[in-house]
Chain A
Amino acid sequence: MNAPLASRRGVLAGGGIIVAFALTRGAFGQGGGQGGAGGGSAKVAANLPGDLAKFPFLDSWIAVDGAGRVTVFTGKAELGQGIKTAFVQLAAEEMDVAPGAITLITADTARTPEEGITAGSHSMQDSGTAILNAAANVRLLLAGAAAKAWSLPADRVKTKDGAAHAPDGRRLSYGQLASALSLHVAAQPNVPLKAAADFRLIGRDWPRVDIPAKLAGGAAYVQDLRLPGMLHARVVRGPSYRTRLKPADLATIARAPGVVKIVRQGAFTAIIASEEWAAVKALRQMQAPGWLRSGPPLPGGDLHAALRALPSKPIPVFDFPGPAAPLGARTLSARFTRPYLMHGSIGPSCAVALWQAGAVTVWTHSQGVGPLKKSLTELLALTPDKVRCIHVEGAGCYGHNGADDAAADAALAARAVPGRPVRLQWMREQEHGWEPLGPAMTVDLQASLDASGKIAAWRYEAWSNEHSSRPYSAGGLLAGLEVAPAFKPQTPRPIPMPEGGASRNSNPLYAFHNATGTYHFIEEAPIRVSALRSLGAHMNILAMESFMDELALAAGTDPVAFRLAHLKDDRARAVITAAAQRFGWSARLRGGGGTGCGFAFARYKNLAAYCAVAMEAEVEHETGRIQVRRVSAAVDSGEAVNPDGIRNQIEGAIVQALSWTTQEETKFDALHRTSFDWSAYPIIRFEDVPDRVEVEVINRPGQPFLGTGEAGQGPAGAAIANAIADATGKRLRDMPLSPERVKAAMGV
């Protein structure tokens, strides 16, 4: 068969794209500091969907070998959200191959497109859309090659089970076709995609590809890597940010059995040992002399007042014009607060690093291997070709935890023992003490109700630090601030709307007029903070949806009807109606007497998934204990690739948000963070999770993917706040909405 490569490239690619492609390959992602957003490389082909616009060439995404094996490449990482399974479904569907024929390669700076950070519920939109369309392109090329071989019109060739089929029964496998086909061609825009009616995989509850190994002790996590000759390391730090350890007897510790080396560079210190337990024991000896605070004291008293008193810069975040509220309108105002929250990964951060011939490879559970590579390149004074970062799963991170810092710690430690892989894992108190926290926030809301009970004015003001300090330079890594000479810390930057950081979901989707919002960006952060799943959305939705209930009560209107009366978006109305119907909202138990129901809704970022949550909760009068009896949720994530994966994420969001909203608060004194373990930072346990949870997925075949991972936390947090208010008649506005606060509000 003649390879049609040259002519196809001439037709499809054109010189411009090839030149642009070469430039793209050399460019670093710009998204490192942009936090929640996907970031990554620049767009070079804006007419292509998803991240194909950044990497238009098909071989960036898909390879087919002579045996017909398909390899799919994504720059996004599996974080426990099930993204690998969805990507396999997409590629297998559009290519007409079995899911088992696909090998998926995730975030690896040497192999995959640089798609920035896996965050912001962007993976399905950015990478999923790219894989779907790349797969359709590749299938088209394979079918075209078969048509040419058979001298048939292209539309007579069908594809099925990894092969092209002619009407007369002739068959050419993808392996046979691929050997003469280059995929180094730009994707065509608007390639025909399979119709929903023909789907074998998309829209089905396909089992997660990663679960079987995780249930049976298979190697699944970076913590499970065991490379030949591997050593074990621990990093040595004070209990939390801006503390340092008092000097220990290094000479004695260095002679302890199993200790290979104590690595010191400036204030960076790590212990390397042949046995992991020896490294732990040496760390405990290093910590024994105690510690000192090395920065200014932490704020005491009213934390939120102290934060609001810091210098801040007002940033307008939305402005919906409209006439002033009529005279006689009733005005309500309320202030809401959220404390610092922890990501609280169950597995402390871990990385494995190996130096060979002046180059380093780091296996990491970072959410952004590209920005991490850039940061490590600067930290280690290497050229980019000498640093490779490979994502391997860790425990769920829920945002920017210690993953990147541990990767830098491992790389610095391993530099002292070239040729030997070094596995460095943080201890529990290090994860609790050093992970950047989800920022504390204050939100003030004010609204006016006109005579008909409609909202005629809306004011939003928030105070908070930045919501992402993800590393894009050496100064964004803990180790970068410890080595000598130290790197300059990254400058805090607010994330602009429409996605927003602190201001995420501050802008109401409700059809308000005369509505304005201001975010008071506080640059100085007394406590290290960064992106926690959904960023400001959890707080903003809790505040907005609590306040909507307060307004509905003032207007004498049912909370669901009140929301619908202010909402034009049809898909928003559909999820609200579905959740209310599934819950039986109109026939619900009426509030008071210790039992109540709460409802809340949001469209994540006002541009992603729609989610509504209805909840029934019981509040025990004597103890304030909150028991959620049942939850009904509805979610519209656009076209649903794996509905059970979506349900899993929303169920998780509901339970996680219950924990954040009613139980969690990071504690500290003037000198350090005192929430150093799970006893000092309790999270939800089995006795406190709901009796029942059900999630309805509203599938929208043919609509863009909207992502799911962060859609539920805001509505679930607000629904419990509203259920508590309904049950007790008392509105709690300061998180955590804890049993102690419930009791205090009820005067118990």
Chain B
Amino acid sequence: MSINLTLNGAAVRLDADPTTPLLYVLRNDLKLNGAKFGCGLGQCGACTVIVDGQPVFSCLMPLAALEGRRITTVEGLGTAAAPGPVQAAFEAEQAAQCGYCIAGMIMRSQALLERNNRPSEAELRAALSPNLCRCGTHMRILRAVRRAARAMGGGVRDPSEPVGPPRVRSDGRP
């Protein structure tokens, strides 16, 4: 069975077992590293990608459900050399420790800010809530999303911490 979909703006035709979750197709067939296997249960968000504007757990979504849909992964937002605004904000805040959860965090943040670039602090935290981080990088992730909201023309309305100067510049130099 073959499936046609749009991945990071390009048309892709896939031939695979239609029960295969999108995550395995992204990682193994398309050789994309961003989405991570964390639980396979939709409990941790490490696999989060955007499908037709909505953040989804790619570990749960079978290939059969993706005909004609638009998928964005972290690779579609920018590169290490030319990061997108959310990626740049995570870099500026040094918002990673082990970083395994971070691509999922970025995708969920991107989906939020595309929908609403002026969320309240409570809306921000609720939006990120499906995603787990075990290193305890939450404070930096929140700072990064607040910074990204501003970079995308909005801003978190009642931030629990102010948006300060970046810890590092977006070109990676201190």
Chain A residues within CB distance 8 Å of chain B: 79-82, 204-208, 210-221, 223-224, 226, 232, 257, 275-278, 280-281, 344-348, 393-396, 398, 425, 427-428, 644, 648-649, 651-656, 659, 677-679, 683-687, 689-693
Contact = CB atoms under 8 A, between A and B. Distances in A.
A217 B78 CA distance: 9
A215 B90 contact: yes
A685 B135 contact: no
Which of B27, B46, B98, B106 has its CB near the most chain A CB atoms (within 10 A)?
B98
Contacts of A659: 136
25 contacts: A79-B98, A206-B174, A207-B167, A207-B172, A215-B80, A215-B87, A217-B73, A224-B33, A275-B17, A276-B24, A278-B17, A345-B100, A346-B46, A428-B41, A648-B97, A648-B137, A648-B140, A651-B140, A678-B132, A683-B134, A685-B129, A685-B132, A686-B124, A687-B129, A692-B161
A256 to B, nearest CB: 11
Nearest to B36: A347
Contact of B168 (A207, A221, A232): A207
Given A275-B28, A691-B161, A216 B79 contact: yes
List the 3 closest pairs (A to B, CB-CB), nearest first. A80-B98, A655-B136, A396-B98
A346 B44 contact: yes
A27 B20 CA distance: 48
Nearest to B29: A275
Interface string B120-146: 000011101101111111111010000
A217 B106 CA distance: 11
A677 B39 contact: yes
B37 A396 contact: no
Given A678-B44, A689-B125, A692-B160, 9 more contacts: A214-B96, A275-B16, A277-B17, A394-B100, A428-B41, A652-B137, A678-B41, A679-B41, A693-B161
Contacts of B78: 216
Contact of A347 (B20, B31, B46, B94): B46
A396 B103 contact: no
A82 B135 CA distance: 12
Contacts of A394: 98, 100
B83 interface: yes
Given A207-B173, A223-B36, A347-B37, A652 B129 contact: no
Contacts of A428: 38-41, 43
B100 A347 contact: yes
Given A204-B174, A651-B140, A686-B138, A217 B103 contact: yes
Contacts of A678: 39, 41, 43-44, 132
B43 A679 contact: yes
B74 A217 contact: yes
B58 to A, nearest CB: 13
Nearest to B21: A277
Contacts of A683: 132, 134
Nearest to B144: A215
Contacts of B16: 275
B136 A651 contact: yes
Contact of A346 (B24, B100, B138): B100
Given A80-B97, A686-B128, A346 B137 contact: no
B134 A344 contact: yes
Interface in B1-33: 16-17, 19-21, 24, 27-28, 31-33
B8 to A, nearest CB: 10
Interface string B66-102: 0000000111011110010001001100101111111
A428 B142 CA distance: 26
Given A215-B80, A215-B91, A651-B140, A208 B96 contact: yes
Given A215-B87, A217-B32, A692-B161, A398 B167 contact: no
B33 A656 contact: no
Contacts of B90: 211, 215
Contacts of A214: 96, 99, 102-103
A82 to B, nearest CB: 7
Interface string B154-165: 000000110000
B31 A215 contact: no
Contacts of B98: 79-80, 346, 393-396
Contacts of B96: 80, 208, 211, 214-215
A652 B97 contact: yes
Contacts of A275: 16-17, 20, 24, 28
Contact of B99 (A220, A345, A687): A220
Given A215-B106, A218-B33, A654-B136, A82 B41 contact: no
Given A217-B74, A692-B160, A644 B94 contact: yes
B139 A690 contact: yes
A648 B126 contact: no
B67 to A, nearest CB: 18
A693 B143 CA distance: 11
Contacts of B24: 275-277
B34 interface: yes
Nearest to A204: B174
B160 A396 contact: no
Given A208-B96, A277-B21, A683-B134, A347 B38 contact: yes
A328 B161 CA distance: 50
Nearest to A423: B28
Which of A257, A428, A687 has its CB near the most chain B CB atoms (within 10 A)?
A428
A173 B157 CA distance: 54
A689 B100 contact: no
Contact of A208 (B74, B94, B161): B94
Contacts of A684: 136, 138
A648 B90 CA distance: 13
A346 B38 contact: yes
A281 B160 CA distance: 45
Which of A81, A224, A348, A648 has its CB near the most chain B CB atoms (within 10 A)?
A648
A224 B100 CA distance: 11
Contacts of A226: 28, 31
Contacts of A685: 129, 132
Contact of B138 (A80, A213, A655): A655
A623 B1 CA distance: 51
A381 B35 CA distance: 38
Which of B40, B137, B139 has its CB near the most chain A CB atoms (within 10 A)?
B139
Contacts of A82: 97
A136 B157 CA distance: 50
